[in-house]
């Protein structure tokens, strides 16, 4: 669908799309040439464009051509190189890329006259913008950097509970024999120490150096992260406003004809946030694409109060959608996917 949309003019890039921009179920979105620092996050709402709100709220603007540092605690708006002219029956949803979420860079996509982030209505015609707010590490970005991705949907693709149970019986979507399969596959947190040396995760350090989002294997893990070993009681106290990388207890997979997304287990449990980057492409963890089931890496941030996580506690649900057609290339199958067959894993920027 993505290539077809591009050919039909539904996707309108300011610069030609790169060969590797189209992923199995999503399109990487690229930052444009100018960034605006604004006073606060916002939604434009009906009858208002994002450009109008930027004009009201901007503090200053700066070019990204040669690269620029986005500081923690600040909110930036960057017009994207891709704009849309969607057909009336095609909607879209955006999400941070995995590497963006694992750097604790809070990123959302905004469209004109919208009431919500990361959701683009069917038939939308207009520009797209990224709202970017680094929470832990300052980051270096430039024109063309890819922090977000977008999926396109036609009609109702989400599997209901009955269809998902049938798919699980055929494909074994998780290695948990007693999996909780309903409106999604329940995903719990691993605090038993499945990682090397009994490792359960990493806690981000404060006051670090800058991370170049384009630099692979460029940084020493110890300069940015504190490894955490399993406790005897297999629990973890999340400290307020700290950022953690953890892994799911279950290994999951996404068959070739489907895509998945991590959604909150219970929206009323607001003490912590899990998984900024929620998209899972077709072939994730799939044996035929080089996987053997893969752990979902969880980007966890506590909120105002300390919160205790227990081993196996359900923190999200993996919902599945049927693809319009099977992708020509699956996640991990020769496209340089960074996290196929992953366990507990930091973003591609760090040397372990």
Angstrom distance (rounded) from CA 337 to CA 332: 5
Domains of the chain: 2-154 (2.70.40.10), 161-351 (2.70.40.10)
Residue-wise DSSP of 14-69: SSPPPTT-B-SS-EEEEB-SEEEEESS-----TT--HHHHHHHHEEEEEE-TT-EE
Angstrom distance (rounded) from CA 212 to CA 68: 10
Residue (of 27, 110, 87) closest to 279 by Cα position: 27
pLDDT confidence of residue 67: 97
pLDDT digits (tens, 9 = 90+) for 261-302: 998 776 555 567 776 667 899 999 887 544 468 899 999 988
pLDDT reading at 114 higher than 70: yes
CA–chain centroid gap for 35, Å, is 21
pLDDT confidence of residue 278: 79
Ranges 8-12, 172-176, 262-266, 345-349: which has the least confidence: 262-266
Q: Could you tell me which residues come within 8 angstroms of residue 322 by beta carbon, excluding any fewer than 6 positions away?
A: 157, 159, 257, 258
pTM for this one? 0.92
Residue (of 215, 292, 306, 297) closest to 262 by Cα position: 297
pLDDT confidence of residue 106: 93
Q: Do 118 and 93 meet the contact criterion of CB atoms below 8 Å apart?
A: yes
């Amino acid at each position: 669908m993505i290539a077809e949309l591009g050919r039909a003019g539904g996707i309108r890039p300011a610069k030609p799309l790169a060969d590797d921009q189209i992923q199995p179920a999503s399109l990487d979105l690229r930052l444009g040439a100018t960034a605006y620092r604004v006073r606060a996050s916002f939604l434009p709402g009906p009858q208002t464009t994002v450009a109008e709100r930027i004009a009201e709220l901007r503090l200053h603007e700066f070019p990204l051509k040669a690269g620029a540092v986005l500081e923690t605690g600040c909110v930036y708006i960057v017009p994207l190189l891709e704009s849309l002219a969607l057909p009336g029956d095609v909607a879209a949803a955006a999400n941070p890329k995995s590497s963006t979420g694992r750097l604790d860079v809070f990123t959302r996509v905004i469209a004109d006259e919208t009431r919500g982030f990361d959701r683009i209505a069917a038939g939308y015609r207009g520009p797209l913008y990224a709202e970017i707010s680094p929470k832990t590490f300052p980051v270096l970005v430039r024109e063309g950097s890819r922090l977000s991705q977008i999926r396109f949907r036609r009609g109702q693709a989400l599997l209901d509970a009955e269809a998902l149970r049938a798919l699980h019986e055929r494909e074994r979507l998780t290695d948990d024999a007693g999996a909780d399969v309903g409106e999604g596959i329940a995903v719990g947190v691993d605090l038993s120490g499945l990682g090397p040396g009994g490792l359960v995760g990493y806690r981000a350090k404060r006051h670090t150096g800058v991370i170049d989002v384009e630099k692979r294997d460029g940084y020493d893990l110890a300069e940015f992260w504190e490894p955490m070993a399993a406790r005897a009681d297999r629990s973890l106290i999340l400290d307020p406003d700290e950022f953690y990388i953890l892994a799911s207890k279950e290994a999951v997979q996404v068959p070739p004809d489907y895509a998945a997304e991590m959604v909150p287990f219970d929206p009323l449990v607001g003490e912590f946030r899990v998984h900024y980057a929620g998209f899972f492409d077709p072939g994730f963890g799939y044996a035929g694409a080089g996987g053997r089931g893969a752990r979902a890496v969880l980007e966890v941030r506590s909120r105002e109060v300390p919160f205790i996580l227990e081993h196996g506690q359900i923190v999200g649900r993996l919902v599945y959608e049927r693809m319009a057609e099977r992708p020509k290339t699956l996640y991990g199958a020769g496209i340089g996917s960074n996290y196929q067959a992953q366990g507990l894993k930091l973003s591609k920027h760090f040397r372990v």
